[in-house]
């Protein structure tokens, strides 16, 4: 009997040691709710995530936040208290990522946001963005506007953190480009119409309008402007670079411009583009699993999360064991110092002072032609 107890105790200790060595990742995504068009493709890519990296078992714990910041916080708190995760992935929309950031700070757990998010300076140390920042993605839009004689611009964007990021960026950049922002209109993610805002913008008749929305929700404001008779150029941000924009927008989005990371148009990239090979690898594997044409801007960010982990995990493991505060700190430090890294979505170079990281060689301007995204040369 004593021998049996000793054997069981030894087995239990062995299992505990094995579990302690596992790397646990908490993932909060908008798999339901109004932003599910963004979260579902991300979730699909995470189903392809490796089960092992650098000899360590990877436990990906995925929870739905239902596009609700409050639910995102609940998920994050469960991750850090119950699941003892080593790193947080998410959210897949800005408002959820912003809500999770204080939990990352409080628990000193690195957060890879799958949405572009601005946070207060005290939270910045633990937050790293997989999507490109507005400064990098505004660059090809404004360059195209300048080349095409745009002098006046209207703004139609979400009245949340994502909309605010872009409005702030445009206000900072337009003056030097000789472009005046003449009308600013906002709307909620849950709105089903932008008729009042569209009428004001059409009345002002700017040379171009920037729509700041995401996923399937980006089609509605674009269609609203066309239906109210707007004839100028319409630009969209990288959160709109999804098949949903074309599928839902139909003929109304034809001719519209969308800035994107390179992953969405992998095959159209020139051979010397730094992300060409990695982007093609992402598209090939994703569409092999989910069908031709299923590629998605946000799924590409999930693919890039794997690149991050493959690069930083071996570094962090040299300093501490998974499941410890020291390991979480080591992961954070490794992310910040991993140097120039080629993502499917561009060239990343996070530093101590820049947790957005992408370079200006990242953004690609697309135009909708014949129901497809085509690179603007």
pLDDT value of residue 360:
84
Give strand pairing partners of 367: 257, 374
pLDDT value of residue 14:
43
Give strand pairing partners of 258: 236, 366
Q: Determine the topology of domain 135-260 in CATH.
A: Rossmann fold (3.40.50)
Cα dihedral across residues 195, 200, 204, 208: positive or negative? negative
pLDDT value of residue 16:
42
DSSP, collapsed to helix, strand or coil, labels residue 76 as helix
| The two three-digit tokens of residue 80, written as one number | 């850090």
May I ask the CATH architecture of the domain 15-132+293-348? 3-Layer(aba) Sandwich (3.40)
pLDDT value of residue 13:
45
For the chain, residues with pLDDT lower than 70 are 1-20
What secondary structure letter does DSSP report for 345?
T
| The two three-digit tokens of residue 297, written as one number | 């801007």
Q: Are the beta carbons of 289 and 31 closer than 8 angstroms?
A: no
* Among the listed residues 225, 208, 181, the one whose alpha carbon sits nearest the alpha carbon of residue 365: 208
Phi and psi at residue 108, to the nearest 5° = 50, 55
pLDDT value of residue 133:
87
Helix (H), strand (E) at residue 167: helix 161-177
Q: Are the beta carbons of 279 and 269 closer than 8 angstroms?
A: yes
Say if 15-132+293-348 and 135-260 have the same CATH topology: yes
pLDDT value of residue 15:
44
Q: Are the beta carbons of 156 and 225 closer than 8 angstroms?
A: yes
Residues 37, 35: Cα–Cα separation, whole Å: 5
Domain residues of the chain, as ranges?
15-132+293-348, 135-260
* Among the listed residues 89, 230, 85, 251, the one whose alpha carbon sits nearest the alpha carbon of residue 154: 230
pLDDT value of residue 215:
84
Q: What is the pTM of this model?
A: 0.80
Q: Are the beta carbons of 323 and 86 closer than 8 angstroms?
A: yes
Q: Are the beta carbons of 238 and 137 closer than 8 angstroms?
A: yes
């Amino acid at each position: 009997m004593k021998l049996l107890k000793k054997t069981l105790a030894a087995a239990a200790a062995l299992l505990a040691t094995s579990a302690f060595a596992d790397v646990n990742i908490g993932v909060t995504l908008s798999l339901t709710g109004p932003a599910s068009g963004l979260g579902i493709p991300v979730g699909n890519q995470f189903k392809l995530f490796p089960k092992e990296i650098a000899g360590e078992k990877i436990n990906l714990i995925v929870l739905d936040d239902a596009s609700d910041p409050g639910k995102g916080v609940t998920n994050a708190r469960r991750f850090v208290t119950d699941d003892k995760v080593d790193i947080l992935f998410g959210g897949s929309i800005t408002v959820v990522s912003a809500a999770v950031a204080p939990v990352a700070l409080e628990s000193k757990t690195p957060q890879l946001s799958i949405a572009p998010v601005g946070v207060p300076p005290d939270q910045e140390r633990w937050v790293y963005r997989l999507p490109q920042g507005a400064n990098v993605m505004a660059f090809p839009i404004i360059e195209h506007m300048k080349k095409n004689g745009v002098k006046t611009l209207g703004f139609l964007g979400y009245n949340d953190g994502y909309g605010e990021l872009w409005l702030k960026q445009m206000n900072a950049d337009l003056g030097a480009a000789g472009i005046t922002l003449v009308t600013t209109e906002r709307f909620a993610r849950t709105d089903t119409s932008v008729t009042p805002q569209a009428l004001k913008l059409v009345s002002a008749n700017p040379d171009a309008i920037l729509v700041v929305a995401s996923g399937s929700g980006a089609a509605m404001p674009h269609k609203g402007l066309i239906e109210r008779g707007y004839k100028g150029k319409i630009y969209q941000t990288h959160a709109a670079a999804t098949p949903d924009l074309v599928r839902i927008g139909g003929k109304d989005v034809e001719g519209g411009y969308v800035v994107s990371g390179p992953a969405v148009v992998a095959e159209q990239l020139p051979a010397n583009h730094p992300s060409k090979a990695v982007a093609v690898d992402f598209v090939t594997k994703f569409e092999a699993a989910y069908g031709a044409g299923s590629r998605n801007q946000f799924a590409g960010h999930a693919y890039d999360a794997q690149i991050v982990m493959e690069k930083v995990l071996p570094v962090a493991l040299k300093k501490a064991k998974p499941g410890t505060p020291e390991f979480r700190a080591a992961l954070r430090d490794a992310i910040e110092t991993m140097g120039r890294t080629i993502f499917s979505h561009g060239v990343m170079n996070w530093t101590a002072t820049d947790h957005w990281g992408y370079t200006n060689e990242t953004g690609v301007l697309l135009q909708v032609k014949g129901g497809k995204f085509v690179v603007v040369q």
